[in-house]
Chains A and B, each alone.
Chain A
Amino acid sequence: MSKVRVLVGTRKGAFVLESDGKRQKWDISGPHFAGWEMYHVKGSPVDPNRLYASQCSGWFGQLIQRSNDGGKTWEPVDNKFVYDGVPGTHKWYDGTPHPWEFKRVWHLEPSLTDPDTVYAGVEDAAMFRTTDGGKSWHELQGMRGHGTGSGWQPGAGGLGLHTIILDPKDPKRIFIAISAAGAFRSEDAGATWKAINRGLRSEYIPDPDAEVGHCVHHMAMHSSRPGVLFMQKHWDVLRSDNAGDLWKEVNGNLPDDAGKRGFGFVIDVHAHEPETIYVVPIKSDSQHFPHEGKLRVYRSKTGGNEWEPLTKGLPQRDCYVNVLRDAMTVDSLDSCGVYFGTTGGQVYASADAGDSWMPIVRDLPAVLSVEVQTLS
């Protein structure tokens, strides 16, 4: 009998939710690390009981926790994230050079082949890797050392490297995204990087077509087609059919927002249908809540442009939550499950690919991240 395990990171702790393959009844454990910000919790694809968690606080800094038993027990591992060499500077809010300063780990991406190897995306934007299960972390310096790095400027949310996608067919190819810098691709396992932002257009930067400076919110890929990427940008949903070399906007009939479309944070792909994608449109870059107070997931079965709102089981009035960039995921059961968490503390799940939804927990602290493991 299949099971699913949902890993939820919140502003005040982590929670582990488990259910059988029907996904109707849920057991909830937590809060783990009560009172700490849990930016991301994710399991190893090759050893599902091996979990990694990013734990941080404004007082006591960054910790990394590891579990070897599916989240029942945890142990702190190394938390020393030190930039390689002389850190150098990026651009500060006032345009002056500002030294790179480690603040937190936004995202942990376990290797597809080795449970002891994990990539960490951090703020200020850089990429680290452990190959010993978290006992030590080392920077992949080529990312921060990209030729454009000195010109990266944080947005209001910080200069965070928040998205890491590993190519299942080419272990040397990695895609990442950085808030207010853009998307990048490595073809040599992280040694060197190329900016892949052609086709992005951002009116909020001086040169809307610039090589870097775009506020990419999230990216997603289907494992069967690693050359096809989907992106949720600050405004606009986009796709690339050539591994990021060129993007095209696929907002289509997403809700109109004073003449613009496509603001949001999350994007994900159906587990078995590579052209079926999900977003949660959010009203404008200043309001950050659903349009008309209606929480709607939009699904496209055509890889963008043609979207349908999914509303069954979701609040359709007086709903003013947000859904943050790492807070949507899909399971790989035959009937694909889709999950997302809100800043209001609800985690919604659909066991039928989005046709209907139910809250599987509804009064957590603000949800920062949601991941799911499909267990046999």
Chain B
Amino acid sequence: MSRVIRVVLPAHLRTLAQLGSGEIELAVEGQVTQRSILDALEARYPMLQGTIRDHVTQERRAFVRFFACEQDLSHESPDAPLPDAVASGAEPFLVVGAIAGGS
């Protein structure tokens, strides 16, 4: 079953993918998890491969965070089901560049 979910990307990745300022609506097959969202995202926007998770290990890059429903889901399993509100499209899945306080 395909579901349409909402994804918000940080500004740098929206620019890279030549997107505007809004959210992306993304069709996700099967269970809605971090992995299934990122698989669908990278399939539609191949230039994002390697920018959110490692090419080989598929692990989240250290300074990228995943938020949804006012929770930090970054340390959850990539295969754990995301909240129903994300799966239903009521709430977006946020990919966030971590606050670094650097230059």
Which residues on A are within 8 Å of B, measured CB to CB? 11, 35-36, 57-63, 76, 79-80, 82
Contact = CB atoms under 8 A, between A and B. Distances in A.
* A-side interface mostly: loop
Identify which of A35, A60, A63, A82 gathers the most chain B CB atoms within 10 Å of its CB: A60
A362 to B, nearest CB: 19
A340 to B, nearest CB: 22
A57 B12 contact: yes
Contacts of B51: 60-61, 63, 79
Interface stretch (B24-32, B56-64, B79-87): B56-64
B16 A76 contact: yes
B31 to A, nearest CB: 26
Contact of B100 (A59, A61, A63, A82): A59
Interface string B79-102: 000000000000000000110101
B49 A60 contact: no
A79 B49 CA distance: 8
Given A59-B61, A76-B47, A80-B50, 5 more contacts: A60-B13, A61-B51, A63-B16, A79-B50, A82-B55
B65 to A, nearest CB: 10
A59 B47 contact: no
23 contacts: A11-B103, A57-B12, A58-B63, A59-B12, A59-B64, A59-B98, A60-B12, A60-B13, A60-B16, A60-B51, A60-B61, A60-B64, A60-B97, A61-B51, A62-B50, A63-B47, A63-B50, A63-B51, A76-B16, A79-B51, A80-B50, A82-B55, A82-B56
Contacts of A62: 50
Contacts of B102: 58
Contacts of A59: 10, 12, 61, 63-64, 97-98, 100
Contacts of A58: 63, 100, 102
B50 A61 contact: yes
